Amino acid sequence: MSNEPAGVIELIELVRVEIPLVRPFRTSFGTDTVRDALLVHVVTSAAEGWGECVADRAPLYSSEWVDGAAEVIERFLIPRVVDEPLADVEAVGSRLADVEGHPMAKGALEMALLDAQLRAQSMSLAAYFGAERTRVDCGVSIGIQDDTGALLELVAEYLDAGYRRIKLKIEPDHDVAPVRAVREHFGADVALQVDANAAYTRADGPTLAALDPFGLLLIEQPLAPDDIVGHARLAREIRTPICLDESITSARGAADAIELGACSIVNIKAGRVGGYLEARRVHDVCVARGVPVWCGGMLETGLGRAANVALAALPGFTLPGDTSASRRYFERDLTEPFVLDDGTLTVPLGPGIGVTPLPDALADFTTARRVVHRRSAR
């Protein structure tokens, strides 16, 4: 890692964009019809950088929400990084460490600073991570459908497009039936997994064991985020491997969950763990313990997608990620669209995250834009 300075931070602005989703996305915690994203735009004396906050409109997936994240970034995070010159983005985490929680807010600011620093150094995020692959295997996450026919049509569409793995969102009473329907229609060879987003309880072992015969790759986050012991017990009641998403909020937490037998696979999302640097550490602890990881998603625009794809190029990401093509989410993305190529996305290799917002798209999707920090003349 070079010691070249990231440059002096000249300006930081918060940009809100609203991009319609091609179809509503329903999970056990709610339904999204638009991606309402908070972007962090940093201008340094050396380069520009973009960060994307993955917080949703309401605190349903986690305790963060997008308006709250914007306020935390402006009032509590930015002052901690602009008061003294920042030698290296590696130091951002320790600057922000006394602020409790708010990983998605922290992750968005860190991403923007990291992008700016790497652009100044003409280094890609993938190279910075130490990524080896140039393409990553892609899966797709399918929202809960009331109608089985509609579900089967969607699965067919995505398999035809080349996706290498299908993930079905489930909840109580929308679990065994859709899994059975997909297996009966598409056969045993489709790589299939489910995501409960914490919709079950410790008493649901028998219900979840009913998924065992379907040969799922994994079940993601069946129980509450804080229920590590519950997941460890459930792992002894079912044969489907347990993968944790919401429960994993740090590299140490990942190591603990693995040690306790709560999961045998980990979903890595940078925003959930406070940024891409911690995400890389989660990857490292999992690799050291022989635990496969895959890259989760939060319906990101092309900005967050670019960074996710770079992360997913690390060697421990041995399962297809929720790193789908732009058109799975949006008719028009904020960046040049990511296009599926033989079930893969190509890792951006330009400086930083390798993409920037297209000016016209940014103008059309922006709902609010405000400079929240400007360097004062000394």
Q: Supply the residues annotated as catalytic.
A: 169, 269
CA distance 222 to 75: 35
Site string for ligand OSB, 209-248 (x = CB under 6 A): ------------------------------------x---
The nearest distance, CB 80 to ligand OSB, in angstroms, is 27
Closer of 57 and 370 to Mg ion (Cβ): 57
Nearest by Cα to 286 from 322, 251, 241: 251
171's CB contacts (< 8 A; 6+ apart) are 27, 28, 144, 196, 197, 199
Nearest by Cα to 117 from 278, 273, 9, 277: 9
Q: Exactly one of 86, 116, 298, 309 binds ligand OSB (CB under 6 A); which one?
A: 298
By CB under 6 A, tell whether 249 contacts ligand OSB.
no
Q: Exactly one of 64, 137, 195, 300 binds Mg ion (CB under 5 A); which one?
A: 195
By CB under 5 A, tell whether 300 contacts Mg ion.
no
By CB under 6 A, tell whether 178 contacts ligand OSB.
no
124 interface partner picked from Mg ion, ligand OSB, none, CB below 5 to 8 A per type: none
Nearest by Cα to 81 from 118, 132, 116, 128: 116
CA distance 218 to 239: 9
Number of residues that bind ligand OSB (CB under 6 A): 11
CA distance 101 to 87: 24
Closer of 42 and 298 to ligand OSB (Cβ): 298
208's CB contacts (< 8 A; 6+ apart) are 175, 200, 219, 222, 234, 237, 238, 240
Amino acid residing at 331: E
* Region from 89-97, 100-108, 180-188, 297-305 binding ligand OSB, contact rule CB under 6 A: 297-305
Tokens at residue 21, please?
Answer: 């989703």
By CB under 6 A, tell whether 137 contacts ligand OSB.
no
Closer of 36 and 322 to ligand OSB (Cβ): 322
Query: Contact residues for ligand OSB (CB under 6 A)?
Result: 61, 141, 195, 197, 245, 296-299, 322, 324
